[in-house]
Amino acid sequence: MFVFLDIDGVLATEDTWDEWFALGSPTDRKHELLDPECVKYVQRLCDRLKAKVVISSSWRCSHSLGELVGILERAGLMLDVVGYTESRFDFDRGREIADYMEVHDLRPQDVLILEDAEVVDPFEARTVRPCFRGDDAGFRGPQYTEALRLVEG
């Protein structure tokens, strides 16, 4: 299973960003933007699915893949990261994922998308969409359950 992983809205939330800004936006502590409970559930999901992870977050635009893996690991997230999606001129997240799937010959049933933004069809049925704001923001227990329901039926 390939998991397309967004960061803001999945692992980082409005609250964790506010806390990080309050610290003075320390660039060497970006791993603190990742909510520990969201980290736990994403780890649990990826372990269970033996997931190959593709970073689809815009964080890929400001960090190398190695830097991103370092940030994830400092937050306690040990994933099999195999790459990232390429940016499109229109920054359409769904089409960026579709482009990656086409290049790597992936079918919709091969993928799961964790993404708070709109993802265009035909991948809606393979998408779990947490939210960025609110007390229950991010990927937590309910989103974990939904993800398993999507992939395991």
The residue ranges that bind Mg ion (CB under 5 A) are: 6, 8-9, 116
Nearer Cβ to Mg ion, position 9 or 138?
9
Q: Which residues contact 73 (CB under 8 A, 6 or more apart)?
A: none
Nearest distance in Å: CB 38, Mg ion: 12
3-class DSSP state of 47: helix
CA 101, 105, 110, 113: dihedral to nearest 10 degrees?
-10
Nearer Cβ to Mg ion, position 6 or 96?
6
110 burial level (CB within 10 Å; 0-12, 13-18, 19+): middle
Nearer Cβ to Mg ion, position 9 or 94?
9
**Type of residue found at 106:** L
CB 58 within 8 A of CB 9: no
Nearest distance in Å: CB 137, Mg ion: 11
Nearer Cβ to Mg ion, position 79 or 109?
79
- Give me the residue whose beta carbon is nearest to Mg ion: 9
Residue that is written with structure tokens 């890929």 in the block: 60
Nearer Cβ to Mg ion, position 96 or 116?
116
CB 130 within 8 A of CB 140: yes
Nearest distance in Å: CB 42, Mg ion: 13
